[in-house]
């Protein structure tokens, strides 16, 4: 899985797309890994742009939870932005919207984490 990354206003914006399910979760985690390694105190926070994510299953949500735990352990910050309506529903039903920082738009997330 290819991730697009760019530094905007001191925030590492990482964009992904497709399905983060049984087939897509491991490639997603592997692709995110180098950005997570740098997500620590004094370094840019990560905003995951989910506008292109079509679906996320439990294994994909677990990958997000592990990313969140790693970033938190390193005193880094990570947030997710621009969920599609379907993915937003999955976040709400699974209560991931109560555990992770989720913002309606990338701009909102950058503003909050800047």
Partner 1 sequence: MKVRFWGTRGSIPVSMTAQAVRAKLITALSGAGGVDLNSHEQVVAYVDQLDFATAGCFGGHSSCVQLETGGAEHIILDMGSGARPLAGHYLGQHGGKPQTYHVFMSHLHWDHIMGFPFFTPAYIPGNQLIIHSCHSEAEFAFRRQQAEPSFPVDFSLLRADIRFNIMEPGRDYTVAGLTVSAKKQRHGGDSYGWRFDDGKAVVVYTTDSEHDVGDLAERAAFADFFRQADLVIFDAMYSLAAAISVKEDWGHSSNIVGVELCQLAQAKRLCLFHHEPAYDDLQIAQILNETRRFEELTREGAPLEILSAWDGLEVVL
What residues line the site for partner 1 (CB under 8 A)?
22, 25, 55, 57-59, 61-62, 65, 69, 86, 89-90, 92-96, 98-99
Minimum separation from the CB atom of position 73 to partner 1 (A)? 13
Minimum separation from the CB atom of position 65 to partner 1 (A)? 5
Q: 3-class secondary structure for 17-67? A: EEEECCCCHHHHHHHHHHHHHCCCCCCCEEEEEEEEEEEECHHHHHHHHHH
Residue number, 58 or 105, with CB nearest to partner 1 = 58
Residue number, 8 or 99, with CB nearest to partner 1 = 99
Q: Which of 89, 82, 86 is nearest to 19 (CA)?
A: 86
């Amino acid at each position: 899985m290819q991730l697009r990354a760019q530094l905007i206003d001191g925030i590492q914006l990482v964009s992904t797309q497709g399905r983060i399910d049984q087939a897509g979760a491991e490639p997603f985690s592997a692709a995110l890994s180098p950005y997570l390694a740098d997500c620590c105190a004094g370094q840019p926070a990560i905003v995951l742009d989910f506008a292109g994510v079509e679906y996320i299953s439990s294994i994909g949500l677990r990958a997000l939870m592990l990313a969140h735990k790693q970033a938190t352990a390193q005193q880094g910050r990570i947030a997710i932005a621009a969920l599609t309506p379907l993915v937003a529903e999955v976040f709400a039903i699974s209560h991931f919207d109560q555990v992770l920082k989720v913002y309606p738009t990338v701009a909102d997330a950058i503003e909050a984490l800047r």
